[in-house]
Amino acid sequence: MRRPNWVPEGTDLDKPNAARVYDYYLGGSHNFEVDREMARKAIALWPELPQIMRSNRAFLRRAVQFVAEQGITRFLDIGSGIPTFGAVHEIARAIHPESEVVYVDRDPVAAAHSRLLLQDDPQSAVVQADLRDVDDLLERPEVRALLAPGEPVAVLLVAVLHFVGDADDPWKLVGVLRDALPPGSALVLSHASLEGRPDQAEDHQKLYRMTPTPLTMRTVEQITAMFAGFELVEPGVVYLPQWRPDQPEAVGQHPERMTGVAGVGFRA
């Protein structure tokens, strides 16, 4: 296979990659047939998966716009994948052209793709780091530079904490991030929930147990607890389509079918 110019040297083009599969779900072009084949197998088990992923990305767009409208110009996107389709820096800079973004992902393939895509963007940086080692993440020079001025920062944990098992205590990890943030900072969070589609929840988790990134779906109560120390904005922690929709009709009759919940909070 001929290597496209957005693919880093040394990338294995014969194995599917989770970040490129997600890009395919979103309708992006940064994926290969091997990624699309994996996605089709997953969709055969759960036909609504692409719609769920797009609903999650739509929440990300609305949430970034919202916190940017509150004056935030610094963003720490943890578990960012490949910043191609509706990337945070594009959304934020439509409101504040000076916005700075640090993208963080533990996947070396996603990080390599991201560096190549953003190599000419001085206001964006890419860090390969693991949220589960949050102290190491916070010590990275790019992250320290983002936090150093003491200006509010929006931490984005969008569809990432369900890949952190209970043994790694995601509530504690969020608490460490919170304590490192300047006053006025925001937490933008979405998470796969056990409520809404209990008929699919166990099958979905079984599917992900066969991958390097097992999934832990949690209750709304457990997810809401991740906002400890943040003041939730209306409407609180709700199903993805219900969080400040562009139009009321966009919510649909069954928002619970998106199986994810989301919220935004600010640190006092």
Alpha helices (runs of H) in the chain, residue ranges in sequence order? 18-25, 33-45, 49-69, 88-93, 108-117, 134-139, 141-147, 170-180, 198-209, 220-224
Give the span between the Cα atoms of 215 and 193, in whole angstroms: 11
The one-letter code for the residue type at 78 is I
Q: Which two tokens stand for residue 217?
A: 């779906």
Q: What is the DSSP letter of 193?
A: B
Is 212's pLDDT higher than 60?
no
Contact between 123 and 89 under an 8 Å Cβ cutoff? The reply is yes
pLDDT band at 203 (very low <50, low <70, confident <90, very high): low
Give the span between the Cα atoms of 158 and 260, in whole angstroms: 10
For range 161-174, the mean pLDDT: 95
Please report the sign of the dihedral spanned by the C-alpha atoms of residue 160, residue 60, residue 20, residue 130. negative
Domain boundaries, the chain: 52-195+213-267
Cα dihedral angle (248, 252, 254, 255), rounded to 10 degrees?
A: -60
CATH of domain 52-195+213-267: 3.40.50.150
The pLDDT, as a whole number, for residue 228 is 98
Give the span between the Cα atoms of 146 and 102, in whole angstroms: 8
Q: Which two tokens stand for residue 35?
A: 């990624």
The pLDDT, as a whole number, for residue 132 is 97
pLDDT band at 254 (very low <50, low <70, confident <90, very high): confident
Supply the pTM of this predicted model: 0.86
Neighbours of 205 (CB within 10 A): 16
Q: What percent of the chain has pLDDT over 90?
A: 57
For range 104-129, the mean pLDDT: 91
pLDDT band at 196 (very low <50, low <70, confident <90, very high): low
The pLDDT, as a whole number, for residue 6 is 57
Least confident residue range of 82-96, 138-152, 157-171: 82-96
Give the span between the Cα atoms of 88 and 83, in whole angstroms: 7
Closest CA to 125 of 151, 260, 136, 137: 137
Residues 6+ apart with CB under 8 A from 116: 6, 7, 8
Is 158's pLDDT higher than 70?
yes
Strand pairing category for 186-192 and 100-105: unpaired
The pLDDT, as a whole number, for residue 5 is 58
Contact between 137 and 160 under an 8 Å Cβ cutoff? The reply is no
Is 236's pLDDT higher than 90?
yes
Contact between 43 and 50 under an 8 Å Cβ cutoff? The reply is yes
Report how far apart the first and last C-alpha atoms of the chain are (Å, whole number): 52
pLDDT in tens, 34-64: 888 888 887 777 777 778 888 899 999 999 9
Q: What is the DSSP letter of 230?
A: E
